[in-house]
Amino acid sequence: MECLKGKSAYAGVALGKIAVLSKQDYVIKRKKIDSPEHELERIEKAKEKSLEQLQALYDRAVVEVGEANATIFEVHQMMLEDDDFNEEIENIIRTEMVNAEYAVAKAGDDFSQMFASMDDEYMKARATDVKDISERLVRNLYGKEDNDLNYSEPVIVVADDLSPSETVQMDKNKILAFVTVHGSTNSHTAILARMMNIPALVSTPLNLDELKSGMEAVVDGFTGEVYINPTEEVKNQALEKIQKEKEKQELLLTLKGKENVTKSGKEIKIYANIGSVSDVGYVLTNDAGGIGLFRSEFLYIGRNDLPSEEEQFTAYKQTAQMMAGKKVIIRTLDIGADKQADYLELGEEENPALGYRAIRICLSQPEIFKVQLRAILRASVYGNISVMYPMIISVEEVLKIKEIMAEVKAELTEQGMPFKDIEEGIMIETPAAAMISDELAELVDFFSVGTNDLTQYTLAIDRQNQKLDPFYNAHHKAVLKFIKMAADNAHKAGKWIGICGELGADLTLTKTFVEMGIDELSVSPSMVLKVRKAVRDLD
C-alpha cells in the first residue's frame, strides 16, 4: 500500500478502481513546410471545428453544472479567437516555415507560461485553460477525437491535470473521485467537482508512470489522502466512512427544511461555525439557519503580512452573498495563544492563554482592528452580517470598542461608503464576562458563549495538557452555571444568547440548553442535522 497526501478540493470518500488518464501524447513534430497559406487554412478549419465542440460542451455544461460554471467554455471560445494568440501562431508559421501543429503548441506553451507566472492565484489557474484550447486545436489539426472519457464502470479518475472540458465530458455517474497531480483548489476542475458532489484531490504527488488503470485505491477527501493498493483495514475504514456519509445524506433528506422545534413547541436556532469562505457550501448543504461563528483568523494566519481591507471585504461579502440573507456572525480577530501569526510579532509569553490575544491586540493596535471593522461594515450591505468580539472581560473594553466602531462609521460616511447598522455582540468566554453579564447585556445586542475557553478559564485546566484529563469535566457545574447566568442576564435585558463552542454540539446537553432558553446553537456544519434531530426528539 502506498499513501500520498494531496489537497482536498472536495470532501467525501471513495473506494474503487482507478482509471489513469494520460494525455494523448502525440509527439508534436516540427516539420518544415512550403506553403504558410496552406497551414493557416488548416488552422482556420481546425478552429471552426474547435468552436463547434466548445459550443457543444457549453450546452452540455449548462445542463450539468449550471450557466455560471458553464461560462468557462464561452471563455475558451473567446480565447481561441484572441488576436494575440492567433497572430503569434501565424507569426511562427510564417517566420519559421513550420507546420500548424507545432506553431499552435508553441504559442499555447508561451501563453500558458505567461499566465502561470502571474502573481494572482486566479490568473495562474488560467494557464490550464490556455493549454486546454491549444491542445484541442492540435487534436483537431491531427483529426483526432476528444479523449474517450466514458467509462464502463465507476472509477477514480487519476490524471496529471484535468481540463475543464475533460471534467465536464465525463459521465458523473461513472466517476467516484478525481485525483490530480497538479491543479489548485481554485481550478475549474475543483469547482466542477464540488458542483457534481464528487470527492476531489489536487496537488497530489502521484507518479503516474507507476500507476495502471484497474489498480485499487481509496480517496479520502476529508484528509486529502489517497491510498494505492489499500490494505483490507484501510478499505474497511473507507467503507465505514462511505456508509456514514450515506447515512448522513439520508438523515439530511429527512431533516432538511424541518424546523428545530421540540415536541412541546420550543424552538432553537441552529447555525454553523466556519473557518473560511470555502466552508459556506457545507453550511448550505447541511441546512444551517445561518453562520453563528465565522472565524476570521484564517484570513490572518499562514501568510507574511496583514490581509488588506479589500481582501477581507471580498471574503465577508462573498459569505454574506452566498448565505443570501441568512445571518452571518463574524468574530473579529482572535489570534494569540495557540494561534500565531509571526508577522504580528506578538512575542513569547509565559502564559499565552492568559496573554496578549484577541481583543487585547485589537484594542492595543486599533489600526489593525479598524481595517477589519471597515471591511465588515462595507460587506454588511450585501447580506445579514453581525459582528462579535472575543475575550471580553470588562465594560470598559466594550465602551472602547464602541468608540472605535463609531470612528470607523464616521470615516465611512465621510467617504460615501455604504454600510448597515449591524448587530454587535460579545463572546462570553471568561468567568469575568459571565459574572458581569448583567452589565454587559445592556451594552450589546447579543452574547455568544465560547465554551472551550470558558471551560479552560473556569476550571483552570490547560486542554493541551493530557496529564490533566482525569481532572477535566466538560460538564462541570460551574461552567453550566456561568452559561445559565449569562442566559438569564441576556434575556432580562431583552437580548439573545447563543453557544458557539464545542459544548453546543454536545447532544447530551441539548436538553439542558433548550431548558435554559438558549436561543441559538452554532456547531460544525456536519453536526447541524444531528443537533436538529436531538432537538426534535425532545419533549
Question: What radius of gyration do the chain's Cα atoms show?
Answer: 28
Distances (CA, A) of 428 to 265, 345, 389, 448, 507: 28, 27, 9, 6, 21
Binding status of residue 324 toward other proteins by CB under 8 A: no
Question: Taking CB under 8 A as the rule, does residue 305 contact other proteins?
Answer: no
Of the pair 126, 530, the CB lying nearest other proteins is at: 126
What is the CB-side half-sphere exposure of residue 500 using CA atoms within 13 A?
29
**Does position 468 bind other proteins by CB under 8 A?**
no
Q: Is the dihedral of CA 518, 520, 525, 528 positive or negative?
A: positive
Task: Tell me: does residue 316 bind other proteins (CB under 8 A).
Answer: no
Given the rule CB under 8 A, which of 21-29, 201-209, 311-319, 468-476 is the region that contacts other proteins? 311-319
Q: Which is nearer to other proteins, 151 or 298 (CB)?
A: 298
Q: Does 75 bind other proteins (CB under 8 A)?
A: yes
Site mask for other proteins (CB under 8 A), range 104-123, x = bound: -------x--xx--xxx-xx
Question: Grid coordinates in use for 369?
Answer: 482592528
Cβ proximity to other proteins: between 111 and 513 the closer is 111
Which among 160, 157, 182 is positioned nearest to 172, based on CA atoms? 157
Q: Does 526 engage in binding with other proteins (CB under 8 A)?
A: no
The two beta strands, 225-228 and 216-220, are antiparallel
* Interacting residue with other proteins among 19, 20, 93, 126 (CB under 8 A): 126
- CA-to-CA separations, 82 to 40, 85, 87, 113, in angstroms, rounded: 15, 5, 9, 16
Any contact of residue 129 with other proteins (CB under 8 A)?
yes
Residue 79 interacts with other proteins (CB under 8 A): yes or no: yes
User: From the centroid of its chain, how far is CA 192?
Assistant: 14
Q: Which of 406, 385, 382 is nearest to 331 (CA)?
A: 385
C-alpha cell at 362: 485589537
Cβ at position 85, least distance to other proteins in Å: 6
**Catalytic (active site) residue 362:** no
From the list 69-77, 245-253, 299-307, 424-432, the region that binds other proteins by CB under 8 A is 69-77
Q: Does 78 bind other proteins (CB under 8 A)?
A: yes
- The least CB distance from residue 82 to other proteins, in Å, is 5
Report how far apart, in Å, the C-alpha atoms of 389 and of each of 96, 278, 378, 381 are.
65, 23, 18, 20
Interface with other proteins, residue 513, by CB under 8 A: no
Distances (CA, A) of 353 to 97, 273, 333, 422, 462: 70, 22, 15, 30, 9
Answer yes or no: 188 catalytic. yes
Residue among 76, 182, 188, 475 flagged as catalytic: 188
User: In this structure, which amino acid lies at residue 323?
Assistant: M
| Cα–Cα distance, 71 to 65 (Å, whole number) | 10
Separation between Cα atoms, residue 214 and residue 207, nearest integer Å: 16
C-beta of 130 vs 371, nearer to other proteins: 130
Q: How far is the CB of 98 from other proteins (least distance, A)?
A: 22
Question: 280 vs 503, which CB is nearer to other proteins?
Answer: 280
- Which parts of 85-104 interact with other proteins (CB under 8 A)? 85
β-strand pairing of 13-21 with 216-220: antiparallel
Contact footprint for other proteins (CB under 8 A): 71-72, 74-75, 78-79, 82-85, 111, 114-115, 118-120, 122-123, 126, 129-130, 310, 314, 317-318
Query: Which residues are known catalytic residues?
Result: 188, 500
